[in-house]
Amino acid sequence: MSESESEPKYKLGEEIRKEFYLDENILFVNHGSYGAVPKRVFQKRQSYQGQIERCPDIWFAWQLKALYDENIEALAEFVGADPKNIAFVLNSTTGVNTVLKNILLEPEDILLLNSHTYGACAKTVDCAVKRAGADIMSLDIILPIRSDEQLVDQLVEVCKRHAGIRLVIIDHISSPSAIVFPVEKIIRELHKLGVLVLVDGAHAPGQLDLNLEKLGADFYTGNLHKWCFAPRGSAFLWVNKKHRDSIQPLVTSHNYQQDFTLQFFFQGTMDHSSYLCTKESLQFMRDCGGMKGIKDHTESLLDWAQQMLCHALGTSILPIPPSLQAPYMRVLRLPELKGYNCTTASEETAHSVMDVIKSYSVKQEDADNLTDYLIREHNCIAAITCFSGHLWLRISGTVYNTKENYLALKDILLKMKAE
C-alpha cells in the first residue's frame, strides 16, 4: 500500500465500530478467525451483485474482466508482486491445495510440516503424499523459542538429516500460536539445500508488510478476508516465475493453457464479486491511516492487553521473543479454569512421567468446548487454541477494538477462575 496516505478518515477504536455490522451485545476479540467486513465493503459487493442481476450476460461479457484486472493490479501492488505471478483464489486453503495438488511427487519424496501448521493444510499435505505414495514428516516446534535462529536452525537441521524432504510448508503467522516465522531466512537457507518452500500466509496480508518478489518463496498464499477487511472468499496465490508454468487452478476451464493469472479467472460461472472488492478494502485500510495507522492503534493496545490479562489472571504470555510476535494477535497460557483442564505442568517443570502424561491430556476438544462455553454463557468470541499440551488464549486486536473489550474479557475469565 502506498504510504502516501491521505488524512485518516476514521477515528479507530469505539468510533469506527459503527462502520461494521458487528453485534454490539457481543464481545469480539477474535478478528483473526473470520475477519469482519466493513459496511462500505459489504455494500460495494452488494452493488456488484445487483449489477450482475440487472443483466448477467452483459456483466460476464463486458464488465467483469476489466474490474477483475484492476483489482489484480491493486492486489499485486499491495503485496509487492508482479501481476503476472499472482491470482485470486477463494481462500488460503485453496491456495495450499492448488500447489500441493500440482506438484508431482515421487514415492521417495517427503513433505515437511510442523506442530503449528494449520489443521486443514496439514490434511492437504497428508492427501498429497498419500496419492503419490510419498511421505510426511512433522517437526515439533519446541517452547520456549529464544530467537529466530532457533527456528531456522531446527528446520535446516531436519532437512539436512532427511535428504528426501522435497517441500516445506511454513506458516508466515501460525494460527494457534500467532508466531511470525522468519520466512525470509527460512527460504534462503532451505533453498541452499534445494528444498521448495510453500508459505501459508493466511494471516499475513494486512498484518505484515509484504514484498513477495523480494521474499522469493516458491509459492505463497494469503487471505484478504482476515486482516485486509475484504469480503470472505478473497485470497491470493503467488507463484514464483520459475514455477508458473507448472501450476494450474484446481478447476480447468475456458482459460486453460493461457497465462497463469488468466487461467484462474472464470473457473466456470461463479460469483467473482469478493475479488472485485479488493480496491475498496485497501482503500478502507488507507482511510484508517494505512498499515502504520492501524499498527499504531493496535500494537500498543495489545501490548497493554496481554500485560493486563497476564497480571490479572496470574499467567504468562507465550514464551517467544517480541520480534516473533504477530502484530495483531497475542497468545497467553490459560490458567486453570473451573471445569476445564487448561494448564498443566509446563515442559520446563515436568519432573515426572505423570506430569508429562497429564500435560498431554489437554486436547483440541477441550479448546473447542471452552470456546463454545464463552460464546454461550458470556457472548464472548475469543480463540482458544491447543498446542504443547496446553490450552492458550489467542486474542486479536484491530481497528474497532478498545481497552474496554479486554477488560471485559478479563472479568469473564476471572469469574471462571473463581467459580
Ligand X SMILES: Cc1ncc(COP(=O)(O)O)c(C=O)c1O
Which residues of this chain interact with ligand X, rule CB under 6 A?
91-93, 118, 120-121, 171, 175, 200, 202-203, 223
Q: What is the dihedral of CA 73, 75, 77, 82, to 10 degrees?
A: -70
Please state the closest distance from residue 242 (CB atom) to ligand X, in A. Answer: 24
Question: Cα(40)–Cα(32) distance, rounded to whole angstroms?
Answer: 20
Q: What is the 3-state secondary structure (H, E, C) of 19-81?
A: HECCCCCCEECCHHHHCCCEHHHHHHHHHHHHHHHHCHHHHHHHHHHHHHHHHHHHHHHHHCC
Select from 220, 227, 209 the least CA-distant residue to 186: 220
Nearer of residues 120 and 356 to ligand X, judged by Cβ = 120
Nearer to ligand X, 81 or 121 (CB): 121
Q: Which residues contact 91 (CB under 8 A, 6 or more apart)?
A: 202, 223, 225, 232, 233, 234, 235
In angstroms, what is the minimal distance from the CB of 220 to ligand X?
A: 12
CB of 175 to ligand X, least distance (A): 3
CB of 169 to ligand X, least distance (A): 9
CB of 93 or CB of 283, closer to ligand X: 93
Q: Specify the residue, 125 or 337, whose C-beta has the smaller distance to ligand X.
A: 125
Distance CA 325, CA 204 (A): 12
Q: Which is nearer to ligand X, 95 or 289 (CB)?
A: 95
Grid cell 498464499 is found at 221
Q: How many CB atoms lie within 10 A of CB 149?
A: 12
When the beta carbons of 302 and 313 are compared against ligand X, the nearer one is 302
Burial (CB < 10 A; 0-12, 13-18, 19+), residue 278, is buried
Give CA angle at 118 (116, 119), nearest 5°.
110
Supply the angle between the helices 183-192 and 148-161 in degrees, to the nearest 10.
Answer: 30
Using the minimum distance from each CB to ligand X, give the nearer residue, 308 or 375: 375
Q: Extract the C-alpha cell encoding 259.
A: 497465462
Strand pairing of 390-396 and 110-114?
A: unpaired
Cβ proximity of 302 and 248 under 8 Å: no
CB of 179 to ligand X, least distance (A): 10
Select 91 or 298, whichever has its Cβ closest to ligand X.
Answer: 91
- The cell for 369 is 468446548
Residue 408 to residue 416: CA distance in whole angstroms? 13
CB of 231 to ligand X, least distance (A): 12
Least Å distance between CB 336 and ligand X? 27
Q: 203 vs 390, which CB is nearer to ligand X? A: 203
Burial class (CB in 10 A: 0-12, 13-18, 19+), 106: exposed
Residue 201 CB, shortest distance to ligand X, in Å, is 8
CA distance 234 to 42: 13
| In the complex, minimum distance from the CB of residue 116 to ligand X, in angstroms, rounded to a whole number | 8
In the complex with ligand X, the residue whose CB is nearer, 16 or 183, is 183
Instruction: Report the nearest approach of ligand X to the CB of residue 65 (Å).
Output: 25
Q: Is residue 130 helix, strand or coil?
A: helix
